[in-house]
Structure 1
Amino acid sequence: MATDQPTILATSGGYRRGKRTDFEFDALIHHAVELSGATGRRPKVTHLPTASGDQRWLGAEMNDAARVAGFDFTNLYLFPMPNLDDIEGHLLEQDVVWVNGGSVAGLLALWDVHDLRPVFRRVWEAGVVLAGVSAGSICWYAGGTTDSFGPELRAVTNGLALLPYGNGVHYDSEERRRPLVHRLVADGTLPVTHCTDDGVGLVYRGTELVEAVSERDGKGAYVVTREGDRAVEERIEPRRLPTT
C-alpha cells in the first residue's frame, strides 16, 4: 500500500533491547509502518544493511526482530551481488524501506555503483515510505555529518537530496555533532539542517517537515539555519509515540 504522497521518516533510533531476541523494533519503525497506511495484513518491510557492509548476522537479527513485530520482511543485500533480480520492482511492492546505519559515504558509493539514486526517487514518488537510522537518515538529505572517513567527523554533501536540507543525527549523544553542524551551516557547506536526538524521527510529506516524533522522553529535534555568518538553532518538541 502506497501513501498518497511521498513520505520519509528520518531517525536517530528505531531499536530497543529484546526480550527473546537481541533487539526489537521500537516505536519509530512501527511509526514508519503506520505512515504507510498498511492495515489488515502483515506490512511489507525491506531492510538495507548496505552501510554496515551487508553483514549477514545483522540481517539475521533483523529477521528475528521482524518476526516479533509481525512484518513480512526482506533483507536487500548488494554484496557480493544483489540478492534480488528486480530491485526496483521489489521496492515498489513494499510499504516501508528501512536503511540501517554505518558508513553513509560507503552506502552512497555502492548505491551509485548499482545506479540506485533514480530508483529510490521513483520509489519515493510512488508513495513507499522511505525511512532509516543514522546513515539511513542522512542518505535522504543533501548531506550531513559523518564519521565514515575516520574518527574526526566530516561533512558529506552527496546525499540523494530527496530532502533539500542537511541532516544531523545523534545530536545529543555525540558531543562533536552539534558544533560541526553549526559550523557547516554557518559557512554554507550545508543548507538549512534538520537534526535529531537519539530516539527522535522527522516526518516529511513531500519535502515539507510536518512533525517530529520520539520513542524516548525528553528528547528533541532541531532546525539549524544560517543568519549572516553564524548558525541559529531552533528546538522542535517531538510528539511522544506510544510504546508498541
Structure 2
Amino acid sequence: MTKNIYKQIIAMGGGGFSMEPENPLLDRYILGLSKKEIPKICFVPTASGDSDKYIVRFYSAFVQQLCKPSHLSLFNPPTNDLRSFVLEQDIIYVGGGNTKNLIALWKEWGLDHILREAWESGIILCGLSAGSICWFEQAVTDSIPKQMTVLQCLGFLKGSNCPHYDGEQERRPSYHRLLSQGLISEGYAADDGVGLHFIQDKLEKIVSSRLHAKAYRLEKIGETVKETLLEPTYLGKI
C-alpha cells in the first residue's frame, strides 16, 4: 500500500533566524512539522554567495533547537553526490540574497531537479525572501540593483510571490504595477514575519511570528488589482 506523501513548502516573507534572532517562532514552527524527533535541517545559502557569516548565524540559531543542522555550499560542496546529501535531509531551509543568481547556480548544478525530487518525497522545503520566492512560477525581485523586476522561478508552486511586503516600501507598488500591466501572474505577498504554508500545491495555513504582520492574495480583475487581506495565526502568546 502506497503511503500518503505530503509535499510541504513554507514560504516566509521575512523573519526566521537571520532577521529575528531573538524570535524563533517561525523556525520552531518549521521544525515542528517534521515527524522526526531530531530532524535533519540543511541550510542552503546560495543566494548570499554562501556567506560565511550567514552560515555561522544558522548554526548559532539551530544548535539551540532539537535538530541536526548542516549546510549545503555550492562554492565548497560537501560531496560529489549532492542528490544523496539532499535526500538524507528532513528539512531544506533556503536563505535570502540574490534570487537570480540562486536560480542560475541551482540549474547549473542540477539542484533544481534534486530539490523537486526532495519535495515530492516529503522533505519539507522552506526559506525566506529569495528562499520564499524561488519555489513559485514567478516573483517580484530586487536581484537587479535599484529596480523591482519579474523573475521566472522554479514553478513548484503556481502563481507569483512577493516577500518583505511591509518591510520595503517599493514592494507593494511594484507588485501592483507589474500585475496590472500583465507582466506577472496572480499570487501571494507576505509581510516580514509571515509564513505561507503550502501542503501539496494549496495554501493550507498562514502563520506569523509578529502580532500585526499580514499576508495578501493579489488578483487582476479587469484593469485593476484586487488585494485581499489574509489573516495569519500568530504563533506567540498574546
Question: 1:46 offset after TM fit, Å?
Answer: 0.1
State the Cα RMSD in Å: 1.9
Counterpart contact for 1:24–1:65, Cα < 8 Å: no
Name the SS for the 1:124 alignment partner. Answer: helix
Offset at residue 76 of structure 1 (A): 0.4
Query: 2:178: which partner in 1?
Result: 184
8 Å Cα contact 2:18-2:58 kept in structure 1: no
1:114 equivalent among 109, 133, 140 = 109
Matches within 5 A, 1:155-170: 155-156=150-151, 158-170=152-164
The offset of 1:88, in angstroms, is 1.7
- Give the alignment of 1:53-92 within 5 angstroms: 53-79=49-75, 81-92=76-87
Contact 2:18 2:57 in 1 (8 A): no
SS in 2 for 1:63: helix
Q: Which amino acid aligns with 1:150?
A: P
SS in 1 for 2:33: helix
Q: What is the Cα deviation at residue 24 of structure 1?
A: 5.5
Query: What secondary structure is seen at the aligned counterpart in 1 of 2:77?
Result: coil
Equivalent AA in structure 2 for residue 143 of structure 1: Q
Decide whether the 8 Å contact of 1:33 with 1:95 is kept in 2.
no
**Comparing 144-153 with 2-11, which one deviates more in the overlay?**
2-11
**Which of 144, 149, 162 lines up with 1:149 in the alignment?**
144
Partner of residue 171, structure 1: 165
Of 13, 16, 19, which aligns to 1:14? 16
Distance between the aligned counterparts of 1:222 and 1:107, measured in 2? 25
Identify the residue that residue 215 of structure 1 maps to in structure 2.
209
| Cα deviation, residue 57, structure 1 | 2.3
Percent identical among aligned pairs is: 35
Q: Give 1:44's aligned residue.
A: 40
1:186 & 1:78 partners in 2: Cα distance?
37
TM-score by length of 2: 0.92
Unaligned runs of 5+ in 2: none
Matched, 1:95 2:90: yes
Q: Which moved more, 1:216-225 or 1:26-35?
A: 26-35
What whole-Å deviation, never above 9, does each CA across 1:99-140 have from its counterpart, x for those lacking one?
000000010011111012211111000000000000000000
What CA deviation, in whole Å up to 9, does each residue of 1:193-216 have, x standing for no partner? 111001000000111001110011
Letter in 2 for 1:135: A
CA contact under 8 A between 2:5 and 2:120: conserved in structure 1?
Answer: no
Name stretches of at least 5 consecutive residues in structure 1 with no aligned partner.
Answer: none
Q: Does 1:234 align with 2:236?
A: no
SS at match of 1:36: coil
User: How far apart, in 1, do the equivalents of 2:230 and 2:118 lie?
Assistant: 29
Which residue identity is paired with 1:27?
L
